[in-house]
Amino acid sequence: MKPSLPQGTRDFSAEVVRKRNYIFNTIRTVFELYGFQPLETPAMENIETLMGKYGEEGDKLIFRVLDSGNSFQKDFFVGLFKYVLEFRKQTADANPNVSYFDEFDFLNKLIDHPTVIKELAKQLQENKDLNKKYLPSFKNDVSSKALRYDLTIPFARFVAMNHGQLAMPFKRYQMQPVWRADRPQKGRYREFYQCDADVVGSNALLNEVELANIYTTVFEKLGIDVEIRINSRKILTALAEVCGGADQMMNITIAIDKLDKIGIEKVKQELSQRGLNQSQVSIIEKYLSINGSNEEKLSSLQQLIGDNENGNKGLEELKYVLHYCQLSTANRQLSIDFTLARGLNYYTGIIFEVKANNVQMGSIGGGGRYDDLTGLFGVPNVPGVGISFGVDRIYDVMEELNLFPETLQTGTKVLFFNLGVEESRKAYELMQQLRSKGISAELFHEQSKFDKQFKYADKKSIAYAVMVGSKELAEKNCNVKNLQSGEQQTLSWNELLNFSF
């Protein structure tokens, strides 16, 4: 059997693990500096926790987990057979003349119409009443669990389960893999990490300021030059109101969200197709063409929206965040962008999106404010705001711009050569003493030719070789070779232990 990996998944070798950990550790350090606390949730959630939270398309991408054994299927089949029989009976009763459901060979005919079986199976699975009648033990038997699709819903579930015990506002960060049954393609995987920070239980705009500063601090530490685009959903609401299409809010948002990809002309076409009239489209076009410095943009927008209440609230939000960010050093990256919409529709206030400069890449971070995170789980009135880091894309950006520190690949530092039984015993002693000083070291596993041991050191990028042969054993010293420069020196055992590797 030739082994392989499931589509869209990856092994991470040592070099990649170290680089990824460098990103994770950098983000973690900043999250903690800002008072966020770690949380980890299980890979599996109950299916009801996840379903219906990501839209119809999202639901289809959720990986369901079967309970142990295959009993579910067997139970399901029995239910399905019963249901098919009953269905036939009812249909036959209602339409005695429909020969398709003829008593004798209906099953034979059914087989020629697999879509009918599929449809019945679907009804049986999705209709609660049918479910109850034919599959009394179905719920717990089939796939009661699924792999988490993001970190937000598990977080909401956690907050809803524990909100009495949490210090509010509750600030948590979470860095774990998520799974999506998406079609794999370049840069899109079925298992990938998310890296989120959220504050819930507070309406204060100070939280948005904090999150913006987290973005600037993290990317500064990583050495990535970024632009943090910022807008407010309230301004998009105002735009819809101002052009007399408040009910068109979603249509406007969806169309604007595509601006980057399809350009202004196609956005205008789409707006028309979605039922907006000429004058509305032209107001939106005017809105989308606002440019200049942050201050110029704010004043252009003020002119466009006049005294619209939502618009002015949105402007206040933006001004507050910009003002506060100016108090800290890292505010240059913040850029108002009224064309920013963010597809997901649960945002209600400030929204963010981060792009790396000097490299072709989609957004490497995003987030925003939402009004009610845990309402779905029976705990209303928990507003919050959160951001996310796109670790896979950040990794790609750093690779492309060569931003990973060279010191990151801290594998084995010293290889002791194995040059005989007595020799290697001494080498082992010396090695253990080096290790106790924190220097990572290995003794080659068996006595071999120099060549073979050098090759091993080379393949593992080990920096130094230490050789204790019979001569060195007698003279109580060793040869230390710098494998990069080729420089070699003889050190006493004592000197070796104090050598600065």
Q: Which of residues 201-230 bind a copy of itself (CB under 8 A)?
A: 202, 204, 206-207, 209, 213
Segment contacting a copy of itself (CB under 8 A): 31-39, 91-99, 272-280, 474-482?
31-39
Shortest distance in whole angstroms from residue 240 CB to a copy of itself: 30
Shortest distance in whole angstroms from residue 245 CB to a copy of itself: 35
Size of the site for a copy of itself (CB under 8 A): 118
Rank residues 82 and 258 by Cβ distance to a copy of itself and give the closer one: 82
Binding to a copy of itself in span 4-23, by CB under 8 A: 4-6, 9-14, 17-18, 21
> Residue type at 223?
G
Rank residues 76 and 370 by Cβ distance to a copy of itself and give the closer one: 76
Figure out which of the listed residues 22, 23, 53, 80 binds a copy of itself, where binding follows CB under 8 A. 80
Shortest distance in whole angstroms from residue 365 CB to a copy of itself: 20
d(CA 37, CA 398): 26
Phi-psi region at 403: left, alpha or beta (left = phi > 0; alpha = psi -120 to 50)? alpha
Are the CB atoms for 222 and 23 separated by under 8 Å?
Answer: yes
Angle subtended by helix axes 294-305 and 233-242, to nearest 10:
40
d(CA 354, CA 149): 22
What are the two backbone dihedrals, phi and then psi, of residue 349, each rounded to the nearest 5 degrees?
-135, -130
Q: Does 66 bind a copy of itself (CB under 8 A)?
A: yes
Binding to a copy of itself in span 363-382, by CB under 8 A: 376-378
**What is the CB neighbour count within 10 angstroms for residue 178?**
18
Shortest distance in whole angstroms from residue 371 CB to a copy of itself: 16
d(CA 132, CA 139): 9
Figure out which of the listed residues 23, 27, 62, 238 binds a copy of itself, where binding follows CB under 8 A. 62
Q: Is 149 helix (H, G, I), strand (E, B) or coil?
A: coil
10 Å CB burial of residue 349 (0-12, 13-18, 19+) is buried
Shortest distance in whole angstroms from residue 204 CB to a copy of itself: 4
Shortest distance in whole angstroms from residue 350 CB to a copy of itself: 15
d(CA 371, CA 233): 12
Rank residues 276 and 394 by Cβ distance to a copy of itself and give the closer one: 394
Shortest distance in whole angstroms from residue 76 CB to a copy of itself: 7
Figure out which of the listed residues 440, 470, 492, 494 binds a copy of itself, where binding follows CB under 8 A. 440
Which residues does residue 351 pair with via DSSP β-bridges, in sequence order? 231, 368
d(CA 307, CA 458): 70
Nearest to 231 by CA among 156, 116, 334: 334
Binding to a copy of itself in span 168-207, by CB under 8 A: 168-169, 171-172, 177, 179, 181, 190-191, 199, 202, 204, 206-207
Token output for 467: 């050789």
Binding to a copy of itself in span 130-149, by CB under 8 A: 143-145, 147
Q: Does 443 bind a copy of itself (CB under 8 A)?
A: yes
Containing H/E element for 38? strand 37-38
Site string for a copy of itself, 389-428 (x = CB under 8 A): ---------------------xxx-----------xx--x
Shortest distance in whole angstroms from residue 229 CB to a copy of itself: 22
What are the two backbone dihedrals, phi and then psi, of residue 240, each rounded to the nearest 5 degrees?
-60, -45
> Residue type at 436?
S
d(CA 287, CA 281): 10
Shortest distance in whole angstroms from residue 179 CB to a copy of itself: 7
Figure out which of the listed residues 23, 27, 45, 342 binds a copy of itself, where binding follows CB under 8 A. 45
d(CA 208, CA 384): 10
d(CA 319, CA 336): 10
- Residues with Cβ within 8 Å of 248's Cβ and at least 6 positions away in sequence, in order, are 240, 274, 275, 276, 280
CA 312 to chain centroid: 33
Binding to a copy of itself in span 105-124, by CB under 8 A: 107-108, 110-111, 114, 117-118, 121-122
Figure out which of the listed residues 446, 484, 485, 487 binds a copy of itself, where binding follows CB under 8 A. 446
Binding to a copy of itself in span 293-312, by CB under 8 A: none
Token output for 96: 């005695």
Residue pointed to by tokens 């008593």: 103
Binding to a copy of itself in span 457-496, by CB under 8 A: 459-460
The two most distant CA atoms of the chain are separated, in Å, by 106
Rank residues 325 and 356 by Cβ distance to a copy of itself and give the closer one: 325
Figure out which of the listed residues 381, 432, 482, 494 binds a copy of itself, where binding follows CB under 8 A. 432
